[in-house]
């Protein structure tokens, strides 16, 4: 087996996440590739939750639609999830559950009873489950034990023993009651330890790696963990992290810190970006670098805070009064979060402008493997700086789009930065010629980023290069699209997908080439109005086939495959009509 | 004298103020640059941050690093500047509208975090820049452009707010009392921690009633000698306008600055060990 | 008793609170609806406005017109509601983060405009909804999720702020002292003008230190009988936590409400004459 | 003469505006049509300023590019403005000025000396100028005297006499020194008194006429006058006007007041709209009517506060996180400000959503005639309301897009409104089906507005219906475009222009018909990125020829005519190429 998908489901607080995460951590140590997915209950506490882990010996980008093994801890969880179990999969359920008929194997296991009766604590249930899974999936007992030993290293010996006991009981029960299956379970790992982290952690770690010095932010689901990780770790590197009184204060403090020379950043979700609109315009106008992470959630307004959506694209592109250019990046995976946050610092520092990084709840929260080598490739960007001067410093020199700046403290370069339109020296100027020249300068940067050699890899592409059916998508929907392209190919549809990771400026060369080649363009995205599609139509005037959904969770590859089939049918009928006409 | 003048000029950018004739801000500008001169602050170490308003135009006229930002946001920006580079002398300037209306939400927090900076509020009890609407401190001049039939709210008292917010230095000056004002600004800049200076000043174009020079000269008094600046209640009493408008230092409450807190946090976080990005990444292995 | 229970239930919407077991908010909800019942307020005349936070979920659970809005904006929305329909009993509820951090800029202005409404702040000294970051009132529980190595700022005192902002009624209650709290809420609603009630309450999931029930029971005291609520300085002294945490009414300063001001403005504007749109248009002829 | 254009220029504070406005008022009383234009000095006080008045006996929409009569009060004003004087025009300048050579007539007049020496007060200068103009333009002395008598009715008799004296001196001087010209001056008026007001006044008056009850706002150039007019007048009608502490508070108070049943509105400029982004999303989500006026100024950030620009369109359309629908209207003239603010209340109340009205500094500030009959056509919209209930009120009933609301106070209809995603009863719901259904409901309104019979007149159109060269523009640029189409027609270019006054939803039927017919589409607009053009390309996939400028003042018709000529040449060469191919 190259690929294996496990789902654990139950009530929040029952250890569902611990079970799945432990499996994931052990797999990552074995060098397997992982993509996971979890839901978050909307309730303040409690509520249904699930976590899914897909393991593979090859690079994967999607958490899997069907699962090979489903573990459910109660009847609700069973009913909610069993439809996603493969016909030849395995269902492990709490003994009292009412398992439906099916072709899959069913094992009813008294997880809770074992925990309570044999170990004497209900909370050991998750370790019992782990034991059963270790047996069923063929995970070496030693790997699990090593992991537990490390995890409880700082706790008392009694606690560790307790857990080891639970693990043993689980394995023991399984050995007696659960038949192992040939080729079912863990694929063979590369033994090159992978890092395992969430998108939010990748952003935080990547930012630290790219030289972040000052972070200001305000808590908001699903972005808070970025700030929380940084609060716990950045000070160790000499950085400063501050929770401000709101998002406006956060972005303004970022502006101040950045002007004073620090690499500065904030992270938030849609409501925060809306509040930052005015200050984002200031950053564009005053030409101050800044990195803003938006972990999108269901909108509009307070919306669906714990659900995923990709509906802040137009806000990211246009959400300020006036013509206010900003760069927009959209990572496609957890590893890409790490890479692109580095790129965000590179672009903002080099081009002296705000860079918005769009992720979403699902990507922020999902755990995935990351190649540790990526850390070594984070850019250490530096601003173009004047080191001294003798008065009359032209902060906004009109000589190319990037004028050297001078950091406060540098003698002889005292100058003004301002949110008003200004001449080269930062003095207010409102004549036609200056306003036009400065606007051109500010937008020229976008053109230059478009041809920056460091941004040559701005697109991912999958599938058949000669295909007539094309897909363009963005952000975390890249995963389901990659999976869909693979599935479609198996079904005989040849498809090419292009995923710009740079959304402003768009990678024109790649997109134009792509549009010249494909005959249909499907644009799957998690929003209602088809935001990327509308931009593509505006810029390239290509007809698009929308696949825009607001469902709160990542798109299913099967939805995309269905759209591919539709497009293929459309194409075929157009072709036969054309053929008919030519023949007639 | 000539030398003084020279020193003074050293701190002027050469850009001419755009203020109306008779505006109280001219006096403030000169008190400010004289205080800079007195303190011998290197111009390149001076960061002046402002929001939007007539008062917020001040940084253009001073030789310094200047950030003319957006309405109401001088304080969080200044906090960012100081956080990034604690070496700088950071001074935020702005109007009563900028600081107490649109920017009023930031004031408590920058104060309670004791950011080591000086915040100078030009209180002319009016929106000057937008030509004469009431501000949160308008009291006597009731029929402004947006209150032709009278005000609905009680005026706020900037110094009282600063005291309750925990500002560690709070003072009130008057644009006409230039020497006294200069001295207050000097003290404020010297004070380690968040210093607040309210300056009473009149808008010659749109409100000559609230901060009317003759009226204030009559109503003012200096903070009495025996005043205990360490007592917030005493400070609050003096901050009120009930009998006299008191000028001088109302409150001082020295305590660790934000920068000192950051240093403490970094030390706690490191627990004597040094970290690298690679060492941090290990938690994910 | 059964009748009381019935009255009480009349004010519940039937939607079950989503709060954690042990959350102090359950006590507040019941004190609140009991106060409504005591005052015999018609449910349809009740407008409950909230921002975002665990506390801001309260309107769902009460039978009333409810507006669950956005983070920090309950006060300006409530002000709009009361302005449009002065007949309504307007109550805004929300957390310490909602009201003092992101919404802190609105508080002074709704207070100084003396909008005739009641603002109830659930002070649990933490961000509950987002799972445990410090709030502007966090003091003892220093190592929150966003301050793992300690806080940088001094805590704000909600009642002291309300007093300096000119709130015309200021009181402090404790979620555990339900009868007392109910009585405070009743007084606050009855008071014409802007009434502020701070409720100390503990977040059982994320901060059980600051508003620890045992600690507060020990530290608390009731406002002494002789306290002069008309004296702001006396009120400020009692608002402080220095020795004891005082529960009760700290301040009352009755004065015309916003609605009364609007009536006055309309009368002044009309000068006894009635106007129509057509008559207004004549100035352009 | 059907048409006459006068410009007065000088230093701010010299009476420039008074002179021009007086002429304008007198003309409006005579029943002439008027369009004016003025500049605003960026300085806090003082600075160059000018005002231009175009009078006509027919409907006009542009203030005129060339002037027939130029009055300048100092040398700078002369140099800045003389290039715009018609070759056969008349220049009146202060005696000391150095008038350039030209074909126009020049009269040097010692305005200031007359004022100082003969009347004894420098500030009477403007009345002296008025006297000279009355003579030169053939304005009946009585009209001017009547006007002055009314204006100074409340002042002392001495002041009036003083002014009458100044007027007499001016007329007298002119009679002796300034030759009157046949057919030069005031056209003949209809004698149907027109109202004369600025765009901001039209918005304020129109809002009052449409039933505005509660206004909340925060001062900002160039929108403040809307609030100021309302503060002075709305209370007379029983309305309430309140300056809040910022724009966020203003829009939130509007939300509260509107929920409680009042017609509520705010006005601001770009920076304010940026700050309102979050609350605008709340209005969409909670389905609360609200009218928001944005008087656009030069951006981004603080930008050019006293200059005009049309660069907030994309913000108005997309400036909130999530998919948040709002209506966008753009008046094309002062009279249209009055009409469309009424429409804004109609749409917001009917469709229960926010409506943004986009004007700009030039339109806000310019004085123009308005037909008083328009006031009678302002709609008195009412929300669909339940008048009583018996509990369990479904505020968000999924039965068509518009659910009846119930105002607080109505017994038995207690309910929740919320910025979270919700079910029909306003309770939080985050499942896929509800989120999708509610999003569809919210967007369905836009579709319905598109076919609302009251919105049939959403487009203005000028020029030749069969033309191949098309222009689409918006807002105040309609004036220069109308003028350009007329000029182009005179030069032999046949052009059709379409001006949607409703920008979201776009009037699809009209635009589609238009795009089917024309072969080239020029889109003149006052911004850098071509914001309307980008939307048109996205929605209709038509190629556009941008004419996007950030110059701070309205576009010149000649710039548009030049673009028309270019497009015509392009069209001709394509055609001859095609012809060649067919022949070949
Ligand atoms: C977001 C935003 N809202 C409104 C304005 C308009 N505005 C500019 S300055 C100002 C107030 C000025 O008053 P104050 O801060 O007291 O300064 P002063 O001019 O009196 O010195 C306002 C409302 C703006 N620039 N930005
Ligand atoms: C603009 C915006 N920023 C941030 C958030 C996230 N958020 C929701 S509630 C909350 C704070 C909750 O704390 P508090 O107001 O004290 O209420 P509690 O949950 O403690 O009752 C935050 C930061 C949001 N919803 N909107
Ligand atoms: S408007 Fe008032 S505050 Fe502004 S410059 Fe003029 S006098 Fe000074
Ligand atoms: S998180 Fe805290 S405040 Fe929120 S419901 Fe739970 S206990 Fe109450
Ligand atoms: Mg002011
Ligand atoms: Mg709280």
| Surrounding residues of ion ligand 6, Cβ less than 5 A | C 95-96, 124
Q: Which atom of ligand 2 is nearest to the CA of A272?
A: 1
- Which residues have any ligand 1 atom within 6 Å of their CB? B 52-55, 71, 94-98, 122, 124, 126-130, 135; D 218-220, 247, 271-272, 275, 302
CA A236 to CA A212: how far, in whole Å? 12
Mean pLDDT of D212-234: 98
Cis peptide bond upstream of A222, omega within 30: yes
pLDDT in tens, B199-256: 999 999 999 999 999 999 999 999 999 999 999 999 999 999 878 999 999 999 999 9
C-alpha span between A3 and A56 (Å, rounded): 4
> D89-125: per-residue pLDDT in tens?
999 999 999 988 889 999 999 999 999 999 888 889 9
Best of B113, B138, B152 to mutate (most C CBs within 10 Å, chain C): B152
Q: Percentage of chain D surpassing pLDDT 90?
A: 87
- Asked whether residue D327 carries a pLDDT value surpassing 60, the answer given is yes
C-alpha span between B128 and C121 (Å, rounded)? 35
Residue of chain A nearest B83, judged by CA positions: A257
Task: Tell me: pLDDT of C4 over 70.
Answer: no
Whether the predicted pLDDT of D552 surpasses 90: yes
- pLDDT bin (cut points 50, 70, 90) of residue A583 is low
Choose which residue among B19, B52, B121 to substitute to test ligand 3 binding: the one with the highest number of ligand atoms within 8 A of its C-beta.
B19
- Sign of the alpha-carbon dihedral angle for C194, C200, C204, C208: positive
Q: Please list every residue in chain C whose beta carbon sits closer than 8 Å to the beta carbon of residue D245.
A: 105-106, 108-109
Q: What is the pLDDT of residues C117-133, one digit of tens each?
A: 999 999 999 999 999 99
| Residue bearing the CA closest to ligand 2, atom 10 | C53
pLDDT reading at A359 higher than 80: yes
> pLDDT-derived band of residue A392, with 50, 70 and 90 as boundaries?
confident
Q: What is the mean pLDDT of residues A23-30?
A: 93
Which ligand gives the minimal distance to the CA of D222?
1
Whether pLDDT at A234 is above 80: yes
Predicted confidence band of residue B134 (pLDDT cuts 50, 70, 90): very high
Answer whether B127 contacts ligand 3 (Cβ < 6 A): no
Chain C neighbors of D208, CB-CB under 8 A: 277, 280
Contacts of A286 in chain D (CB under 8 A): 301
Nearest atom of ligand 3 to the alpha carbon of B54: 4
CA–centroid distance, D170 to ligand 1, in Å, is 41
**Complete edge-to-edge strand list for the sheet that includes strand D240-243:** D240-243, D214-217, D264-268, D290-296, D354-360, D327-329, D502-504
Residues ≥6 apart with Cβ < 8 Å to B87 = A409, B45
The pLDDT value given to residue A401:
85
Q: Is the confidence at residue D329, as pLDDT, over 80?
A: yes
Ligand found nearest the CA of B55 = 1
**CB–CB contact D254 C80 (8 Å):** yes
- For atom 6 of ligand 4, the residue with the nearest CA is C20
pLDDT at D191 over 90: no
- Chain A, nearest residue to C132 by Cα: A219
Average pLDDT along chain C: 96
Arithmetic mean of pLDDT, B189-207 = 97
Q: In angstroms, what is the span from residue D387 Cα to ligand 4's centroid?
A: 37
CA-nearest residue to D27 within chain C is C285
Inspect the interface and report whether the beta carbons of D224 and B131 lie closer than 8 Å. yes
At D189 the pLDDT is: 86
Give residue-wise pLDDT tens across range A211-224.
999 999 999 999 99
Q: Is the pLDDT of residue B1 over 60?
A: no
Indicate the average pLDDT of chain B.
Answer: 96
Pocket test for ligand 2, best of C17, C20, C29, C53 (most atoms within 8 A of CB): C53
**Pick from C203, C45, C84, C209: which is nearest to C143 by CA?**
C209
Mean pLDDT of chain D: 94
Q: Residue A388 — pLDDT band, cuts 50, 70, 90?
A: confident
Query: Is there an atom of ligand 2 within 6 Å of A272 CB?
Result: yes
Cα–Cα distance measured from residue A306 to residue A224, given in angstroms and rounded to the nearest whole number: 12
Question: Is the C-beta atom of C210 inside 6 A of ligand 2?
Answer: no
Average pLDDT over residues A104-129: 93
Task: Check if the beta carbon of residue C84 is closer than 8 Å to that of residue D261.
Answer: yes
**Is-contact D298 A430, C-beta < 8 A?**
yes
Read off the pLDDT of residues A243-269 as tens digits, 9 standing for 90 and up.
999 999 999 999 999 999 999 999 999
Q: Answer yes or no: is pLDDT of B175 > 60.
A: yes
pLDDT tens for each residue of D475-508: 999 999 999 999 999 999 999 999 999 999 999 9
Within 8 A of C9 by CB-CB distance, chain D residues are none
Alpha carbons within 13 A on the beta-carbon side of B89: 17
| DSSP H/E element including C75 | helix C74-84
Q: What is the DSSP letter of D424?
A: T
CB C221 within 8 A of CB C247: yes
Chain A neighbours, 3+ Cβ pairs < 8 A: B, C, D
Q: Among candidates D277, D404, D274, which has minimal Cα distance to A300?
A: D277
Q: For residue C201, which atom of ligand 4 is closest to its CA? A: 3
Q: Is the pLDDT of residue D582 over 70?
A: no
Nearest to D195 among C44, C46, C281 (CB): C281
Give residue-wise pLDDT tens across range C45-103: 999 999 999 999 999 999 999 999 999 999 999 999 999 999 999 999 999 999 999 99
From D74's Cα to the closest Cα of chain C, the distance in A is 31
φ, ψ of residue C257 to 5 degrees: the values are -85, 170
On the question of pLDDT at A522 being above 70, the answer is yes
Q: How many CB atoms lie within 10 A of CB C253?
A: 18
CA of A150 relative to ligand 4 center, distance in Å: 32
Return d(Cα D158, Cα D148) in angstroms, integer.
13
Select the more confidently predicted residue: B122 or A583. B122
How many CA atoms lie less than 13 Å away from D294 in the CB half-sphere?
36
Is the confidence at residue D1, as pLDDT, over 70? Answer: no
The total number of residues shown for chain C amounts to: 285
Across the interface, whether the CB atoms of A205 and B284 are under 8 A apart is answered: yes
- CB contacts of D232 in chain B (<8 Å) are 148
The residue to mutate among B97, B134, B175, having the most atoms of ligand 1 within 8 angstroms of its beta carbon, is B97
Q: Does B70 touch chain A (CB under 8 A)?
A: yes
Q: Say which of B63, B76, B84 has its CB closest to residue A414.
A: B63
- For residues C77 and C51, what is the distance between their CA atoms, to the nearest angstrom? 9
Nearest to C75 by CA among C184, C234, C189, C195: C195
- Rounded CA separation D210/D338 (Å): 9
Q: Average per-residue pLDDT in chain A?
A: 94
| pLDDT score of D580 | 67
pLDDT tier at A580, thresholds 50, 70, 90? low
Taking a 5 Å cut-off on Cβ, the residues next to ion ligand 5 are: B 95-96, 124
Q: Is the pLDDT of residue A332 over 80?
A: yes
The whole model's pTM is what?
A: 0.96
pLDDT, tens digit (0-9, with 9 covering 90-100), for D294-313: 999 999 999 999 999 999 99
Hey, is C99 helix, strand or coil? helix
Q: Which chain C residues have a beta carbon less than 8 Å from that of B102?
A: 105
């Amino acid at each position: 087996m190259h690929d294996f998908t496990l789902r654990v489901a139950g009530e929040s607080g029952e250890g569902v996440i611990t079970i799945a995460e432990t499996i994931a951590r052990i797999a990552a140590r074995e060098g397997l590739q992982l993509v996971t997915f979890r839901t978050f209950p909307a309730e303040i506490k409690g509520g249904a939750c699930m976590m899914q882990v897909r393991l593979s010996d090859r690079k994967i980008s999607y958490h899997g639609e069907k699962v090979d093994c489903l573990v459910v801890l109660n009847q609700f969880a069973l009913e909610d999830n069993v439809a996603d179990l493969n016909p030849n999969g395995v269902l492990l359920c709490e003994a009292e559950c009412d398992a439906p008929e099916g072709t899959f194997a069913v094992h009813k296991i008294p997880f809770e009873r074992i925990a309570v009766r044999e170990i004497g604590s209900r909370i050991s249930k998750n370790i019992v489950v782990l034991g059963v899974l270790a047996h069923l999936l063929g995970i070496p007992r030693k790997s699990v034990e090593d992991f537990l030993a490390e995890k409880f290293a700082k706790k008392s010996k009694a606690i560790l023993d307790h857990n080891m006991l639970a693990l043993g009981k689980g394995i023991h029960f399984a050995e007696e009651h659960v038949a192992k299956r040939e080729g079912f379970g863990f694929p063979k790992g590369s033994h090159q330890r992978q890092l395992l982290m969430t998108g939010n952690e990748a952003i935080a770690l990547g930012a630290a790696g790219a030289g972040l010095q000052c972070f200001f932010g305000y808590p908001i689901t699903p972005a808070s963990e970025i700030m929380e990780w940084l609060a716990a770790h950045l000070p160790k590197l000499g950085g400063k992290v501050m929770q401000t009184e709101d998002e406006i204060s956060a972005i303004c403090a970022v502006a101040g810190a950045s002007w004073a020379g620090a690499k500065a950043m904030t992270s938030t979700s849609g409501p925060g970006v809306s509040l930052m609109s005015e200050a984002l315009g200031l950053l564009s106008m005053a030409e101050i670098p800044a990195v803003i992470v938006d972990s999108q959630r269901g909108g509009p307004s307070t919306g669906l805070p714990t659900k995923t959506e990709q509906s802040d694209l137009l806000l990211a592109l246009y959400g300020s009064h006036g013509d206010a250019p900003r760069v927009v990046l959209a990572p496609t995976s957890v590893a890409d979060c790490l890479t692109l946050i580095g790129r965000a610092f590179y672009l903002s520092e080099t081009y002296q402008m705000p860079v918005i990084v769009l992720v979403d709840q699902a990507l922020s929260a999902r755990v995935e493997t990351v190649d540790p080598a990526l850390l070594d490739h984070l850019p250490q960007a530096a601003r173009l700086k004047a080191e001294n001067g003798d008065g009359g410093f032209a902060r906004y020199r009109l000589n190319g789009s990037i004028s050297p700046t001078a950091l406060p403290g540098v003698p002889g370069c005292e100058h003004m930065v301002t949110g008003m339109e200004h001449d080269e020296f930062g003095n207010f100027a409102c004549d036609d010629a200056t306003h036009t020249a400065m606007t051109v300068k500010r937008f020229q940067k976008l053109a230059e980023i478009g041809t920056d050699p460091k941004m040559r890899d701005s697109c991912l592409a999958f599938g058949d290069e000669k295909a007539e059916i094309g897909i363009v998508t963005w952000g975390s929907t890249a995963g389901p699209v990659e999976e869909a392209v693979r599935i479609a190919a198996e079904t005989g549809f040849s498809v090419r997908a292009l995923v710009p990771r740079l959304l402003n400026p768009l990678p024109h060369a790649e997109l134009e080439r792509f549009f010249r080649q494909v005959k249909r363009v499907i644009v799957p995205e998690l929003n209602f109005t088809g935001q990327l599609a509308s931009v593509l139509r505006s810029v390239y005037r290509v007809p698009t086939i929308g696949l825009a959904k607001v469902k709160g969770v990542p798109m299913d590859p099967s939805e995309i495959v269905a759209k591919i089939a539709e497009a293929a049918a459309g194409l075929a009928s157009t072709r036969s009509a054309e053929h008919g006409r030519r023949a007639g | 004298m000539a030398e003084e003048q020279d020193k003074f000029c050293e701190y002027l950018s050469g850009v001419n103020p755009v203020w109306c004739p008779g505006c109280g801000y001219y006096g403030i500008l000169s008190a400010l640059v004289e205080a800079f001169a007195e303190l011998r602050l290197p111009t390149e170490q001076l960061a002046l941050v402002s929001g939007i308003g007539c008062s917020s135009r001040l940084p253009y006229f001073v030789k310094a690093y200047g950030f003319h930002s957006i309405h109401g946001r001088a304080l969080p920006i200044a906090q960012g500047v100081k956080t990034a580079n604690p070496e700088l002398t950071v001074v935020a300037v702005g109007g009563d509208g900028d600081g107490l209306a649109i920017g009023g939400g930031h004031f408590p927090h920058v104060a309670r975090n004791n950011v080591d900076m000086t915040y100078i509020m030009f209180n002319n009890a009016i929106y000057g820049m937008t030509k004469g609407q009431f501000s949160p401190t308008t009291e006597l001049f009731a029929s402004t452009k947006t209150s032709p039939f009278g005000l609905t709210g009680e005026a706020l008292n900037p110094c009282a707010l600063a005291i309750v917010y925990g500002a560690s230095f709070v003072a009130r000056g008057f644009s006409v009392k230039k020497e006294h004002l200069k001295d207050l600004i000097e003290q404020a800049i010297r004070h380690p921690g968040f210093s607040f200076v309210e300056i009473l000043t009149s808008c010659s174009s749109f409100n000559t009633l609230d901060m009317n020079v003759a009226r204030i000269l009559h109503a003012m008094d200096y903070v009495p000698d025996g005043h205990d600046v360490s007592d917030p209640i005493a400070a609050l009493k003096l901050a009120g306008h009930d009998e006299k408008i008191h000028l001088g230092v109302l409150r001082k409450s020295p305590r660790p600055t934000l920068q000192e807190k950051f240093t403490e946090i970094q030390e706690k976080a490191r627990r004597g060990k040094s970290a690298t990005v690679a060492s941090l990444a290990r938690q994910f292995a």
